[in-house]
Chain A
Amino acid sequence: MKIEAWLFIALAPFFALVATVYGFMGDWHEPVGYLALYLTAGLSIMIGGYLWFTARRVGPRPEDRVDAEIHEGAGEQGMFSPWSWWPLVLGLGAASGFMGLAVGWWIVYISIGLTTVAIIGWVYEYSRGDHAH
Protein backbone atom coordinates (compact mmCIF):
# COMPACT_ATOMS: atom_id res chain seq x y z
CA MET A 1 0.00 0.00 0.00
CA LYS A 2 3.07 2.22 0.14
CA ILE A 3 2.61 3.22 -3.50
CA GLU A 4 -0.78 4.80 -2.77
CA ALA A 5 0.78 6.70 0.13
CA TRP A 6 3.64 7.99 -2.03
CA LEU A 7 1.28 9.15 -4.76
CA PHE A 8 -0.18 11.66 -2.30
CA ILE A 9 2.90 12.45 -0.19
CA ALA A 10 4.91 13.31 -3.31
CA LEU A 11 2.39 16.04 -4.13
CA ALA A 12 3.10 17.91 -0.88
CA PRO A 13 6.63 19.23 -1.65
CA PHE A 14 5.39 20.31 -5.08
CA PHE A 15 2.55 22.38 -3.63
CA ALA A 16 4.80 23.77 -0.88
CA LEU A 17 7.32 24.86 -3.50
CA VAL A 18 4.64 26.38 -5.74
CA ALA A 19 3.16 28.23 -2.76
CA THR A 20 6.59 29.67 -1.85
CA VAL A 21 7.25 30.77 -5.43
CA TYR A 22 3.77 32.27 -5.58
CA GLY A 23 4.39 34.09 -2.32
CA PHE A 24 7.71 35.60 -3.45
CA MET A 25 6.37 36.60 -6.85
CA GLY A 26 3.45 38.39 -5.17
CA ASP A 27 5.71 39.82 -2.40
CA TRP A 28 3.53 37.95 0.14
CA HIS A 29 0.86 40.63 -0.27
CA GLU A 30 -1.85 38.33 -1.47
CA PRO A 31 -2.61 35.82 1.30
CA VAL A 32 -5.45 33.87 -0.34
CA GLY A 33 -3.28 32.21 -2.97
CA TYR A 34 -0.26 31.10 -0.97
CA LEU A 35 -2.38 30.10 2.01
CA ALA A 36 -4.59 27.90 -0.17
CA LEU A 37 -1.51 26.38 -1.84
CA TYR A 38 0.23 25.64 1.47
CA LEU A 39 -2.93 24.05 2.79
CA THR A 40 -3.24 22.00 -0.41
CA ALA A 41 0.17 20.60 0.53
CA GLY A 42 -1.37 19.85 3.94
CA LEU A 43 -4.28 18.13 2.24
CA SER A 44 -1.95 15.79 0.33
CA ILE A 45 0.04 15.08 3.52
CA MET A 46 -3.15 14.20 5.39
CA ILE A 47 -4.33 11.62 2.86
CA GLY A 48 -0.80 10.34 2.23
CA GLY A 49 -0.04 10.11 5.95
CA TYR A 50 -3.23 8.20 6.60
CA LEU A 51 -2.40 5.73 3.80
CA TRP A 52 1.17 5.45 5.11
CA PHE A 53 0.06 4.51 8.61
CA THR A 54 -2.55 2.12 7.24
CA ALA A 55 0.12 0.52 5.04
CA ARG A 56 2.36 0.03 8.07
CA ARG A 57 -0.46 -1.54 10.05
CA VAL A 58 -1.82 -3.77 7.29
CA GLY A 59 1.54 -4.92 5.91
CA PRO A 60 2.05 -6.12 2.32
CA ARG A 61 -1.23 -7.09 0.66
CA PRO A 62 -1.75 -9.58 -2.19
CA GLU A 63 -2.53 -6.56 -4.42
CA ASP A 64 1.03 -5.32 -3.95
CA ARG A 65 2.59 -8.43 -5.50
CA VAL A 66 2.55 -9.47 -9.13
CA ASP A 67 2.55 -13.21 -8.33
CA ALA A 68 -0.45 -13.12 -5.98
CA GLU A 69 -3.46 -15.43 -6.42
CA ILE A 70 -7.07 -14.22 -6.13
CA HIS A 71 -7.82 -16.57 -3.21
CA GLU A 72 -5.12 -14.88 -1.09
CA GLY A 73 -7.39 -11.83 -0.80
CA ALA A 74 -10.36 -13.94 0.36
CA GLY A 75 -11.94 -13.58 3.78
CA GLU A 76 -13.66 -10.80 5.69
CA GLN A 77 -12.86 -7.40 4.17
CA GLY A 78 -14.76 -5.29 6.67
CA MET A 79 -18.27 -4.11 7.38
CA PHE A 80 -20.12 -2.70 4.34
CA SER A 81 -23.79 -1.86 4.18
CA PRO A 82 -25.45 -3.71 1.26
CA TRP A 83 -28.24 -1.14 0.95
CA SER A 84 -30.00 1.40 3.14
CA TRP A 85 -32.97 3.77 3.02
CA TRP A 86 -31.52 6.08 5.64
CA PRO A 87 -29.36 8.27 3.36
CA LEU A 88 -32.55 9.11 1.43
CA VAL A 89 -34.32 10.09 4.66
CA LEU A 90 -31.34 12.21 5.75
CA GLY A 91 -31.26 13.84 2.32
CA LEU A 92 -34.95 14.68 2.60
CA GLY A 93 -34.31 16.17 6.04
CA ALA A 94 -31.48 18.37 4.77
CA ALA A 95 -33.35 19.37 1.59
CA SER A 96 -36.52 20.31 3.48
CA GLY A 97 -34.38 22.25 5.95
CA PHE A 98 -32.88 24.42 3.23
CA MET A 99 -36.30 24.76 1.61
CA GLY A 100 -37.55 25.96 4.99
CA LEU A 101 -34.89 28.69 5.09
CA ALA A 102 -36.11 29.94 1.71
CA VAL A 103 -39.87 29.38 1.99
CA GLY A 104 -40.89 29.54 5.63
CA TRP A 105 -39.25 28.95 9.00
CA TRP A 106 -41.92 26.54 10.25
CA ILE A 107 -40.67 23.90 7.79
CA VAL A 108 -37.23 23.94 9.46
CA TYR A 109 -38.68 22.59 12.72
CA ILE A 110 -40.14 19.61 10.87
CA SER A 111 -36.85 18.93 9.08
CA ILE A 112 -34.87 19.11 12.34
CA GLY A 113 -37.06 16.28 13.64
CA LEU A 114 -36.70 14.35 10.38
CA THR A 115 -32.92 14.83 10.37
CA THR A 116 -32.62 13.64 13.98
CA VAL A 117 -34.60 10.49 13.19
CA ALA A 118 -32.54 9.90 10.03
CA ILE A 119 -29.15 10.28 11.76
CA ILE A 120 -30.10 7.99 14.62
CA GLY A 121 -31.66 5.50 12.19
CA TRP A 122 -28.55 5.48 10.02
CA VAL A 123 -26.01 5.20 12.84
CA TYR A 124 -27.87 2.40 14.62
CA GLU A 125 -29.10 0.52 11.52
CA TYR A 126 -26.64 -2.32 12.08
CA SER A 127 -26.83 -2.29 15.87
CA ARG A 128 -30.48 -3.17 16.38
CA GLY A 129 -33.27 -5.46 15.18
CA ASP A 130 -32.05 -8.34 13.04
CA HIS A 131 -28.50 -6.97 13.15
CA ALA A 132 -28.26 -6.70 16.96
CA HIS A 133 -24.99 -8.16 18.09
Chain B
Amino acid sequence: MWLSSELMFFAGLFAMYFTLRATSGEMWAIETEKLNVPFALANTIVLVSSSFTCQYGVFAAERLQARRTGGLLNVARWGMVEWFLLTFFLGAIFVSVQAYEYAMLVSEGVSLSSNAYGSAFYITTGFHGLHVTGGLIAFLLIIGRAYVAKKFGHFEATSAIVTSYYWHFVDVVWIALFIIIYFLK
Protein backbone atom coordinates (compact mmCIF):
# COMPACT_ATOMS: atom_id res chain seq x y z
CA MET B 1 0.00 0.00 0.00
CA TRP B 2 2.74 2.39 0.95
CA LEU B 3 4.70 1.61 -2.21
CA SER B 4 1.58 2.36 -4.23
CA SER B 5 1.25 5.77 -2.61
CA GLU B 6 4.93 6.28 -3.42
CA LEU B 7 4.11 5.49 -7.04
CA MET B 8 1.56 8.31 -7.03
CA PHE B 9 4.12 10.64 -5.44
CA PHE B 10 6.48 10.01 -8.34
CA ALA B 11 3.52 10.29 -10.71
CA GLY B 12 3.19 13.88 -9.55
CA LEU B 13 6.88 14.50 -10.20
CA PHE B 14 6.72 12.94 -13.69
CA ALA B 15 3.66 15.03 -14.45
CA MET B 16 5.54 18.17 -13.36
CA TYR B 17 8.44 17.27 -15.64
CA PHE B 18 6.21 16.69 -18.67
CA THR B 19 4.15 19.83 -18.10
CA LEU B 20 7.21 22.03 -17.87
CA ARG B 21 8.72 20.33 -20.89
CA ALA B 22 5.57 20.88 -22.92
CA THR B 23 5.47 24.58 -22.04
CA SER B 24 9.16 25.40 -22.50
CA GLY B 25 10.52 23.12 -25.22
CA GLU B 26 13.39 25.37 -26.30
CA MET B 27 14.85 25.51 -22.84
CA TRP B 28 14.74 21.71 -22.75
CA ALA B 29 16.67 21.46 -26.04
CA ILE B 30 19.46 23.68 -24.71
CA GLU B 31 19.69 22.28 -21.20
CA THR B 32 19.52 18.56 -22.03
CA GLU B 33 22.63 19.00 -24.22
CA LYS B 34 24.59 19.33 -20.98
CA LEU B 35 23.60 15.89 -19.69
CA ASN B 36 26.29 13.24 -19.69
CA VAL B 37 24.28 10.24 -20.92
CA PRO B 38 27.00 7.50 -20.96
CA PHE B 39 28.00 8.50 -17.45
CA ALA B 40 24.42 8.23 -16.22
CA LEU B 41 23.97 4.95 -18.12
CA ALA B 42 26.91 3.43 -16.24
CA ASN B 43 25.38 4.63 -12.99
CA THR B 44 22.03 3.13 -13.97
CA ILE B 45 23.68 -0.24 -14.59
CA VAL B 46 25.18 -0.06 -11.09
CA LEU B 47 21.75 0.56 -9.57
CA VAL B 48 20.04 -2.16 -11.61
CA SER B 49 22.72 -4.70 -10.68
CA SER B 50 22.17 -3.80 -7.01
CA SER B 51 18.57 -4.98 -7.42
CA PHE B 52 19.87 -8.39 -8.48
CA THR B 53 22.29 -8.67 -5.56
CA CYS B 54 19.41 -7.61 -3.30
CA GLN B 55 17.25 -10.42 -4.68
CA TYR B 56 20.01 -12.97 -4.01
CA GLY B 57 20.06 -11.63 -0.45
CA VAL B 58 16.32 -12.30 -0.26
CA PHE B 59 16.83 -15.88 -1.50
CA ALA B 60 19.37 -16.33 1.29
CA ALA B 61 16.95 -14.81 3.81
CA GLU B 62 14.21 -17.18 2.65
CA ARG B 63 16.63 -20.06 3.34
CA LEU B 64 17.01 -18.40 6.80
CA GLN B 65 20.72 -18.16 6.11
CA ALA B 66 22.10 -14.95 7.59
CA ARG B 67 25.85 -15.45 7.11
CA ARG B 68 28.05 -17.14 4.55
CA THR B 69 28.95 -20.78 5.07
CA GLY B 70 31.95 -20.84 2.72
CA GLY B 71 34.86 -18.56 1.96
CA LEU B 72 34.41 -14.87 1.15
CA LEU B 73 34.90 -15.49 -2.58
CA ASN B 74 32.56 -18.47 -2.65
CA VAL B 75 29.54 -16.46 -3.82
CA ALA B 76 27.25 -19.49 -3.98
CA ARG B 77 27.46 -19.88 -0.21
CA TRP B 78 26.87 -16.26 0.67
CA GLY B 79 24.24 -15.42 3.26
CA MET B 80 21.86 -12.48 3.40
CA VAL B 81 24.38 -10.21 5.15
CA GLU B 82 27.01 -10.54 2.41
CA TRP B 83 24.50 -9.93 -0.40
CA PHE B 84 22.96 -6.95 1.35
CA LEU B 85 26.38 -5.45 2.08
CA LEU B 86 27.19 -5.73 -1.64
CA THR B 87 23.83 -4.13 -2.43
CA PHE B 88 24.57 -1.35 0.02
CA PHE B 89 27.97 -0.83 -1.60
CA LEU B 90 26.45 -0.58 -5.10
CA GLY B 91 23.71 1.77 -3.87
CA ALA B 92 26.31 3.97 -2.17
CA ILE B 93 28.26 4.15 -5.45
CA PHE B 94 25.08 5.24 -7.22
CA VAL B 95 24.38 8.07 -4.76
CA SER B 96 28.02 9.23 -4.79
CA VAL B 97 28.21 9.24 -8.58
CA GLN B 98 24.92 11.13 -8.71
CA ALA B 99 26.34 13.74 -6.31
CA TYR B 100 29.35 14.05 -8.63
CA GLU B 101 27.04 14.43 -11.61
CA TYR B 102 25.16 17.19 -9.79
CA ALA B 103 28.44 18.97 -9.13
CA MET B 104 29.36 18.79 -12.85
CA LEU B 105 25.94 20.10 -13.90
CA VAL B 106 26.09 22.95 -11.40
CA SER B 107 29.48 23.92 -12.81
CA GLU B 108 27.83 24.08 -16.25
CA GLY B 109 25.13 26.39 -14.93
CA VAL B 110 22.27 23.94 -14.32
CA SER B 111 21.14 24.44 -10.75
CA LEU B 112 17.98 24.10 -8.72
CA SER B 113 17.21 27.80 -9.09
CA SER B 114 18.65 28.43 -12.58
CA ASN B 115 15.44 27.78 -14.57
CA ALA B 116 12.46 25.45 -14.89
CA TYR B 117 14.61 22.66 -16.34
CA GLY B 118 17.02 22.80 -13.40
CA SER B 119 14.14 22.66 -10.93
CA ALA B 120 12.47 19.71 -12.69
CA PHE B 121 15.75 17.81 -13.07
CA TYR B 122 16.90 18.22 -9.49
CA ILE B 123 13.51 17.71 -7.87
CA THR B 124 12.80 14.44 -9.75
CA THR B 125 16.29 12.94 -9.47
CA GLY B 126 16.86 14.49 -6.04
CA PHE B 127 13.77 12.93 -4.50
CA HIS B 128 14.79 9.63 -6.06
CA GLY B 129 18.27 10.04 -4.56
CA LEU B 130 16.72 10.66 -1.14
CA HIS B 131 14.71 7.46 -1.53
CA VAL B 132 17.88 5.53 -2.40
CA THR B 133 19.58 7.01 0.67
CA GLY B 134 16.63 5.95 2.81
CA GLY B 135 16.92 2.45 1.34
CA LEU B 136 20.62 2.36 2.21
CA ILE B 137 19.80 3.22 5.84
CA ALA B 138 17.14 0.49 5.82
CA PHE B 139 19.73 -2.04 4.56
CA LEU B 140 22.07 -1.11 7.40
CA LEU B 141 19.27 -1.59 9.94
CA ILE B 142 18.35 -4.98 8.44
CA ILE B 143 21.98 -6.12 8.42
CA GLY B 144 22.21 -4.96 12.06
CA ARG B 145 19.15 -7.04 12.90
CA ALA B 146 20.78 -10.12 11.37
CA TYR B 147 23.86 -9.53 13.54
CA VAL B 148 21.86 -8.91 16.73
CA ALA B 149 19.75 -12.07 16.33
CA LYS B 150 21.24 -15.20 17.79
CA LYS B 151 18.85 -17.22 15.67
CA PHE B 152 17.96 -15.80 12.26
CA GLY B 153 14.25 -16.52 11.94
CA HIS B 154 11.16 -15.47 10.04
CA PHE B 155 11.04 -12.15 11.90
CA GLU B 156 14.39 -11.10 10.41
CA ALA B 157 13.66 -12.65 7.02
CA THR B 158 10.32 -10.83 6.66
CA SER B 159 11.89 -7.41 7.24
CA ALA B 160 14.62 -8.27 4.73
CA ILE B 161 12.03 -9.20 2.10
CA VAL B 162 10.02 -6.02 2.72
CA THR B 163 13.16 -3.91 2.34
CA SER B 164 13.88 -5.65 -0.95
CA TYR B 165 10.40 -4.74 -2.24
CA TYR B 166 11.18 -1.10 -1.50
CA TRP B 167 14.56 -1.37 -3.19
CA HIS B 168 13.13 -2.92 -6.36
CA PHE B 169 10.48 -0.21 -6.46
CA VAL B 170 13.06 2.58 -6.20
CA ASP B 171 15.07 0.84 -8.91
CA VAL B 172 12.10 0.67 -11.29
CA VAL B 173 11.35 4.34 -10.66
CA TRP B 174 14.92 5.17 -11.60
CA ILE B 175 14.67 3.22 -14.86
CA ALA B 176 11.57 5.27 -15.73
CA LEU B 177 13.31 8.50 -14.71
CA PHE B 178 16.40 7.57 -16.68
CA ILE B 179 14.43 6.82 -19.85
CA ILE B 180 12.46 10.06 -19.56
CA ILE B 181 15.27 12.42 -18.59
CA TYR B 182 18.19 10.99 -20.55
CA PHE B 183 16.54 9.44 -23.63
CA LEU B 184 13.23 11.16 -24.27
CA LYS B 185 14.67 14.44 -22.94
Beyond A39-B7, A120-B141, is A128–B15 a contact (Cβ under 8 Å)? no
Tell me the complex Cα distance, A79–B158, Å: 9
- Using Cβ atoms and an 8 Å threshold, which residues of chain A touch B12? 36
Whether B15 contacts A36 by the Cβ 8 Å rule is yes
Within the complex, the shortest CB–CB distance from B59 to chain A, in Å, comes to 14
Whether A127 contacts B145 by the Cβ 8 Å rule is yes
Is A103's CB within 8 Å of the partner chain B? no
Tell me the complex Cα distance, A131–B10, Å: 38
Beyond A31-B18, A46-B3, A79-B154, is A123–B141 a contact (Cβ under 8 Å)? yes
Beyond A47-B1, A126-B155, is A133–B149 a contact (Cβ under 8 Å)? yes
Is B118's CB within 8 Å of the partner chain A? no
Within the complex, the shortest CB–CB distance from A54 to chain B, in Å, comes to 11
Report the contact-size class of chain A (Cβ under 8 Å from the partner): 20 to 34
Q: Which residues in window 54-110 of A have CB below 8 A to B? A: 78-79
Whether B19 contacts A32 by the Cβ 8 Å rule is yes
Q: Which residues in window 5-33 of B have CB below 8 A to A? A: 7-8, 10-12, 14-15, 18-19, 22
Is A42's CB within 8 Å of the partner chain B? yes
Interface centre among B22, B151, B153 (most CB of A within 10 A): B22
